[in-house]
Homo-oligomer: A and B are copies of this chain.
Amino acid sequence: MNTVRGARERARIEVTAAIKDEARRRLAAEGAAKLSLRAVARELGMVSSALYRYFPSRDELLTALIIDAYDSLGAAAEQADARALAAGAPPRDRWIAVCEAVRTWALEHPHEYALVYGSPVPGYSAPADTVGPASRVGNVLIGIARGAYEGRGLALPPLPPALGPEAGRMAAEFAEGLPPAVVAALVAAWAQLAGLVSFELFGQFKGVVEERSAFFTHAAGQLAHGVGLSAV
């Protein structure tokens, strides 16, 4: 795999990367809906049909970009948490730092954020390759909760009986060792975090919230409270 194969293979890898780079550039400039294979090919000095040798369809190209976006966002979240951890921040501050990192990444890569957390492309369902990168942010949040839980426990209201088995299953599957109530709260907080970011990014706060940064930090703190991370 790592050995240097013929010039053919190397050229193929390079061209594939060049296509993805150019596509990402056009994605950032005009959004996923206006991403056209012909334009990418034109910019690369090749003809549109040649592009199909590298990506069998437009959707495949988008999938590649989605995976990259998940990875990029996940890395941003992990770095923010690592920094906060190194600075000796308490769990609540780590949580807020990660939330802010997600928001910052989204503001810097609006179209890539929309690609992964916005409305799905019709007739397109994310292949299995995406679930790994997609869970990186969630895992960071779980890690923070686990650290806090192992430190001194998390106080949360009990789950309604109807949700007991479901939350237990989620805990066993994604966050071994955490109480089901915490896991349920984490999953909800993850979706709510995306809601806050999406509303700001998609213009729903236009004319409503002006001090977006301060508002978001406050909301992230509320989210932390919701998963049992106390205020100091």
Contacts and interface: CB of A to CB of B under 8 A. Distances in A.
Interface residue SS majority, chain A: helix
Interface in A184-199: 184-185, 187-188, 190-196, 198-199
A31 interface: yes
Interface stretch (A2-10, A77-85, A87-95, A121-129): A121-129
Copy tally for this chain in the complex stands at 2
Interface residues of A, number: 61
Contact of A193 (B123, B195, B208): B195
Given A193-B195, A208-B187, A30 B122 contact: yes
Interface in A175-232: 184-185, 187-188, 190-196, 198-200, 202-205, 207-211, 214-215, 217-219, 221-223, 226, 231
Nearest to A118: B119
Interface stretch (A38-46, A47-55, A147-155, A159-167): A159-167
Could you say which of A191, A203, A217 has the most chain B C-beta atoms within 10 Å of its C-beta?
A191
A226 B218 contact: no
Given A120-B203, A159-B218, A162-B214, A209 B194 contact: no
Given A187-B209, A218-B184, A34 B122 contact: yes
Contact of A209 (B159, B160, B170, B223): B170
A114 interface: yes
20 contacts: A30-B122, A31-B119, A31-B123, A117-B202, A118-B119, A118-B202, A134-B204, A160-B218, A162-B214, A166-B210, A166-B211, A166-B215, A187-B205, A188-B222, A190-B199, A191-B195, A192-B223, A194-B199, A195-B195, A198-B198
Given A166-B210, A190-B199, A194-B199, 6 more contacts: A32-B122, A170-B208, A191-B196, A191-B198, A192-B192, A192-B196
A-B CB proximity, top 3 nearest: A195-B195, A118-B119, A31-B122
